[in-house]
Structures are given as C-alpha cells and as structure tokens.
Amino acid sequence: MTETRLRFPPSPTGYLHIGGARTALYNWLYARQTGGKLILRIEDTDTGRSSLESIQGIIEGLEWLGIDFDEGPYFQTDFEAEHIAAAQKLLNQGAAYKCFCTKEELDAKREAALAAKKPLGYDRTCRNLSADEVAEKEAAGLPSVIRFKVPERTGTLGYDDRILGRIDTNYSEIDDFVIVRSNGKPLYLLCNVVDDIRDRITHIIRGQDHMTNTLKQILLYEALRAPLPVFAHMPLTLDTKKAKISKRSHGEIVAVQFYRDCGFLPWAFNNFLALLGWSAGNDQEFYSKEELIREFSLERINKSSAIFNFQKNDPKFFTDPKAIFINEHYLRTMDIGELGKMVKKELESAGLWKDAYDTDQKEWYLSTLDLIRDRFHTLKDFTSLGRAYFADDFEIDPKPLAKNVLKYEELQQWLPQLADRYEKLAEFSLEETERVARELAEELAIKPGVIINAMRTVVTGQLAGPSMFDIIITIGREKIVRRLRDVGKLFGQE
C-alpha cells in the first residue's frame, strides 16, 4: 500500500481559527491513524495579505495543540518557478491557451449574456486563435492571461468525496478558467495543485468552501498527468445563527491562541475540536490521543455544518459550553504531575512560583493542586481563584465579603479569638482545627457556619471551595492565624 500523505496548507492572512485548527486536526488524525505523513505548507502567494506575524501565529497555535508535522513548513512562494513551468507545460501541450480579451470586453459580454439570459461563462473567443494570431497580438504588445482549455466532452465530471459521496457536474458548466494572470502570476488554483502533486499528497481533507475549485483542479491533475488524490470536504463551522464564524463578527474568541491564553489544556481543546463535526456514532465525549487516532474516520465526519455554540454574553462561559465542560473534565482528572507542570508555567508568569515546589515542597504543591482543581475551569483559575494558596495578596470576592463577613461586626473579635486558639493548638490537625472552631461557636452561641463561612472568605477570598478544614491545613497555621487576625482590615480598620 502506498504511504498516505496529507497536508495542512493555511494561507497566512490571519490567526489560526477554530475551523482551520479543526481541519489541521482531522488531517493529523488521519495521517497518524494510517501511519502516513503530514506536511505543513504555507500558502503565501497572496503577498499583499500574507504576513510573517500570521505565519508565526499559525505555527504557534499548531504547536500548542500538539499537531506535529513530518515535513515542512514549505512556503508556496519558493516554488513560483515550478508553478510557471506547469502553466507553460499546459500551454505547450495545448491544454491551455493565451487569452487577450480585455476586462472591458469581458464585462460587456457578461452584461449582454445576462440580458439575453445566456450562460455567463467565458465565450472562448481566444480558444482557437492560430499560432500566427497569437504571435501577432503579442508583437503588438497586447497583454494576455492563460486559460485552461476545458476538454470538449459531453456528460459529467465527478469524484467520490469521502464525506459527501458522489459529486458530479456537467462539463458544460465548467468555464475555461484563468491559471495565469496578465502580470505573469499563476493563480492559487494552479499553485495548489502543482504543490500537491510535488508533495505527493494522497488525501485532501479541507473545508467545503474549496469545493468550487475541486472540479477545475481535477482537470488540472488530468492534464498534468498526475494521479488524483482522495478528496474529503468538511462542512464549515458556523455559529448558532448559521453564520460563518470569523474574527470580524465574533472577535478573538475564534482564534486558537485565545484558548491557550485563557488557560485551556491543549488536549482538551483537541478533544473539543474533534467532536465539532465528528462523532464515532455513540455519545462518548472524552478521548485520549490514542483512542481518537484509532477511532477517527473520514466517513463519520458530519455532512452538515458544525455549530460553534459560543456564549457571547456570558463573561464566565464566554465560549462554547462544551469546550469548558471538556476542559474541566481533563483539568480535574488528569495526572497530577502533568497538571503540576502546566500550573508551574501559570505561577511563573504570575510571579508566584517557588523553586521549592519542585523539591521539598513538591508534595504540598501537588496535593494543593489536587485539592483545589475540582472547582476550576481553566489553568488561569489557579492564579486567580486559587491565588490565596500561593500568595498573601489575593482579592476577596465582594459577594461573600458582604454576605459572610461585613454582615457580622463581631467577627472582628471572633476571628482573632479563633486565631489565638489556633496558635496555641498542640496539634494543628483537621480534627483539632474543626473541634476548636465548633467549640468557639458554641461558647459564643452562634452557628458554626457563621465562623466557618467567614473564615473561608477571609483565608481564600472565595465563596465556595474544598472543605474548610482541608483548606486550613493546606494553607498552614502561620498564614491562617495572620489572615484571621487581620479581619479588621476588611472592615476598613487598620
């Protein structure tokens, strides 16, 4: 069996967006499943719109996702001579011809055809010019484009799309399309095929927005005498109103880097992307890398559009709730050592990392992460909601502050009293800290919840979290005593 060769050929005119990342992922999955190769090709021929920044962004996004390549990046502009040579070859073998029709002439013909309700395609005026006629026009300095000569055949041209099934079109509907502009620049349509032939691509998995090119490209393969690859056209990713997702209409939220910067786990995001348009036919929601590579199939890619159900108006769950749901699952269940490495980066960039977390405080560090991860949604939560575990300068959520602390003036005496008792405890253990807190509540004739809820707010800044006494032991006696004593500051006293 020949080796499968796939490619991801982004045009670097913007960031890597969700749709592009999903295409890259599906190509990667198929390449890995079949033991084939995946090639990264940067299609930068549109020099006006391509940018270095975008190339870097795309590569960074793919790296973050862990989508690795076996070859490339190749740059389409490096192969311009090959693209021109292919056009010349088509010209020489009579599969293409020079067309001297001016834009004005073409516009006029189009309008006339429109008025007469006739087909709008090129009327093939220059298709049968003799060599002498061509030479004459060139001698007169007339500019020309090169058009592909669609074979004169009746019937249909088609292919078996691995996702959509049989796609057929009548030859009469295919226009003699331009392959080289009058400035000598080959069109993208041709470059793409020449590169795929050179790179020996066997499977083209791409968005349905490229289907308008496919039949023309099949004719180019035939004329260039190259074997046809398998085509699989993926439905587009749309929003809930069925509009195409784009940065202009949806903002940063459609860029892969946005998710990295929001603290998503790369594999969780791949898992989300995989299910955005594909399913194994059951309701399995979580896939390990190995499972997904094994289970993925082109035939099970949905035929209808993928819906990116993002929640524009929800500041917390700004994105598709499914992306958050999958992320939470991995965050809460992944190997704690692996999570430790990821949170380390977050702590480092927040200036909260201590080298001891890698040595003598490693056990503390990992068990703390394990304790707090259950309510977290992204990696960012460890330095925001979880800041109190790693620093003293954490913010206090105004809601529990009002409800659990400021409502009871007496807490300014009660919590320092608790601090005194904690300081004197022979054994600062789960049982003892709980016993002492309940004892104090009883003496004061208040509900233990008043003390416990206030303590949670004062020592973690949060309304909810793990069991209070687990928190106390984790944060440690010294800090707990200090934070309880300082409760007065929250009432505006120094």
Q: Which residue is nearest to ligand GLU (CB)?
A: 206
Q: Which range touches ligand GLU (CB under 6 A), out of 3-11, 149-157, 315-323, 375-383?
A: 3-11
- Report the candidate in 199, 193, 162 with the shortest Cα–Cα distance to residue 177: 193
**Alpha-carbon separation of residue 129 from 180, 190, 295 (angstroms):** 18, 23, 55
Binding of ligand GLU by 263 (CB under 6 A): no
Neighbouring C-beta atoms of residue 474, cutoff 10 Å? 18
Task: Pick between residue 80 and residue 123 the one whose CB is nearest to ligand GLU.
Answer: 80
Is residue 92 within 8 Å of 63, Cβ to Cβ? no
Task: Pick between residue 98 and residue 233 the one whose CB is nearest to ligand GLU.
Answer: 233
- Report the candidate in 264, 278, 253, 368 with the shortest Cα–Cα distance to residue 325: 264
Q: Which range touches ligand GLU (CB under 6 A), out of 9-17, 152-160, 268-276, 404-412?
A: 9-17
Distance of CA 28 to the CA centre of its chain: 14
Measured CA to CA, the distance from residue 493 to residue 486 in angstroms comes to: 9
Place of tokens 């499977």: 203
User: What number of residues does the chain have?
Assistant: 494
Shortest CB 182 distance to ligand GLU, Å: 23
Binding of ligand GLU by 11 (CB under 6 A): yes
Measured CA to CA, the distance from residue 399 to residue 402 in angstroms comes to: 5
Shortest CB 463 distance to ligand GLU, Å: 46
Binds ligand GLU by CB under 6 A, chosen from 5, 10, 319, 465: 10
Residue 344 annotated in active site: no
Residues 6+ apart with CB under 8 A from 310: 239, 240, 250, 253, 318, 319, 320
Q: Which of residues 203-262 bind ligand GLU (CB under 6 A)?
A: 206, 210
Task: Pick between residue 9 and residue 36 the one whose CB is nearest to ligand GLU.
Answer: 9
Measured CA to CA, the distance from residue 321 to residue 327 in angstroms comes to: 10
Q: Which of residues 185-204 bind ligand GLU (CB under 6 A)?
A: 192
Task: Pick between residue 9 and residue 465 the one whose CB is nearest to ligand GLU.
Answer: 9
Task: Pick between residue 23 and residue 144 the one whose CB is nearest to ligand GLU.
Answer: 23
Q: Find the farthest-apart pair of alpha carbons in the chain and give their distance in angstroms, rounded.
A: 111
Task: Pick between residue 4 and residue 192 the one whose CB is nearest to ligand GLU.
Answer: 192
Binding of ligand GLU by 57 (CB under 6 A): no
Binding of ligand GLU by 9 (CB under 6 A): yes
**Residue of 137, 247, 322, 344 marked active site:** 247
Q: Which of residues 25-54 bind ligand GLU (CB under 6 A)?
A: 43
Binding of ligand GLU by 149 (CB under 6 A): no
Measured CA to CA, the distance from residue 294 to residue 285 in angstroms comes to: 15
Residues at the interface with ligand GLU (CB under 6 A): 9-11, 43, 192, 206, 210
Query: Which positions are catalytic?
Result: 247
